[in-house]
Structure 1
């Protein structure tokens, strides 16, 4: 895949969270590639590899590695591969989230301690762990992105445990932005509107959420994965060199309407 506007030429991006071509992470990877960046991609396991590998080939990814953040050693292995192939890193996209189905669909009061801890570890703390491994490789500064959602700020029916978890993720972005700023590393929480992804399919009445969000958005329509991807790509360029620590909404303006 050739870059059509190589503003990110020479930059190297790790994108975590592609499940298929409807994934937000795929939109980010495609946008980075279109702007000239080199890519490292991950797949959750061997079952997921058959869906992700063709996308990695399409995008001309330099690295494709397995990554389940709950498996000890796999995260470190990804960064070892990046260090060995590239020696440095410029962008990191964290687009993974998980909660056990019974804890996600039973309401927050009924969420088990184990389910809450699992959701927090995979969906939030794994970003902190990635940042710790990525920062030493961002020798010329860089950008880190974590995917949040409106349910971190306001109550969204049926979002359940993921609301508090995403709120923690957004707070983590602010604190990481503060800690990593002196190194020229910028950290962003990206909050897309509801999108038809595999992860969203686990939410009850998600189709209703899509319709309501589109009706509420001042622009009259929802964002898609490429809208999210190009927002991240812009934030990774020098044009956004003084932007860090905030939550960036990519939702057609739906978040401003009560």
Structure 2
């Protein structure tokens, strides 16, 4: 981690979306912690808690709280605790996405209105809600980040419903960057290449996607959660102080290939 030294020392970072040790959010939290950040970590519910709590303890997370963004008041409660215990916030990372299996694995044209709305609320609008809650706590500026995927920009077979949802998320990032820029709050989407995570396992023929990614990426290797973590850490440091509104690809160059 000598690349960035202690570039996040003294920074307070909230990480939403850790499910287990394979989660992208965990890779991000781990790198931020190694670079000196103080962490707040959330878990989805009591079923998820036993999988996340040991990770939060290993990270030395000062705040550990439940957060199901689909349940009214839970996200607000996390920010209320951050305000009470920390008084402010420097970084907030959103790594949450969901769509009902029948909508995710079916054609977009056949998706249900209910499934589409739920996917949009959890995967996109919750990031906007997070930004609204973070804004008053970032009096000295800060960084907001959301996780996207190449399927937001190009058609990726079997990504289906999540393509339009992630496209909305990336657009929201740009508008939030514009609105919050005067307060020195920078906003980014980070777009990792295919990763073996629990969320990705819900995609149809995901193993085929992984194999093709390895073959087609110029670097010839899949990225891992630490690669994504290093990128998010960089975006949260002063080294990226003039960057905002971007979708940053961490995919070994896969996205440039035809």
Shift of 1:160: 0.7
Deviations 1:39-98 (CA, angstroms, capped at 9, x unpaired):
000000001000000000000000000000010110100001100110000001000000
Partner of 1:152: 152
Is 1:240 aligned to residue 232 of structure 2? no
The answer for the alignment partner of 1:46 in structure 2 is 46
- Give the match for residue 57 of structure 2: 57
1-side partners of 2:193 and 2:40: how far apart? 26
* Shift, 1:195, TM fit: 0.2
**SS in structure 1 of the partner of residue 48 of structure 2:** helix
Partner of 1:192: 192
Shift of 1:222: 1.2
* Displacement after TM superposition at 1:204 (Å): 0.4
1:1-258 alignment, distance < 5 Å: 5-258=5-258
Q: SS at 2:252's partner residue?
A: coil
Q: Which secondary structure does the structure 2 equivalent of 1:146 belong to? A: strand
Q: CA deviation at 1:146?
A: 0.3
SS in 2 for 1:46: coil
With normalisation by structure 1, the TM-score equals 0.98
CA distance in 2, matches of 1:132, 1:178: 14
CA distance in 2, matches of 1:225, 1:173: 22
CA distance in 2 between partners of 1:7 and 1:117 (Å): 39
Question: Aligned-pair RMSD on alpha carbons?
Answer: 0.7
Cα distance in 1, alignment partners of residues 244 and 183 from structure 2: 12
Question: Which ranges of 4 or more aligned residues in structure 1 deviate by more than 4 Å?
Answer: none
TM-score, length-scaled by structure 2: 0.98
After superposition, what is the alpha-carbon deviation per residue over 1:173-227, rounded to whole angstroms, capped at 9, x for unaligned? 0000000000000000000000000000100000000011111111111110000
Query: How far apart are the structure 2 equivalents of 1:154 and 1:131?
Result: 26
Q: Find the aligned partners of 1:236 and 1:122 in 2 and give their Cα distance.
A: 24
SS where residue 211 of structure 1 aligns? helix
Task: Give the gaps of 5 or more residues in structure 1.
Answer: none
Displacement of 1:5 after TM fit?
A: 2.7
The total of aligned residue pairs comes to 255
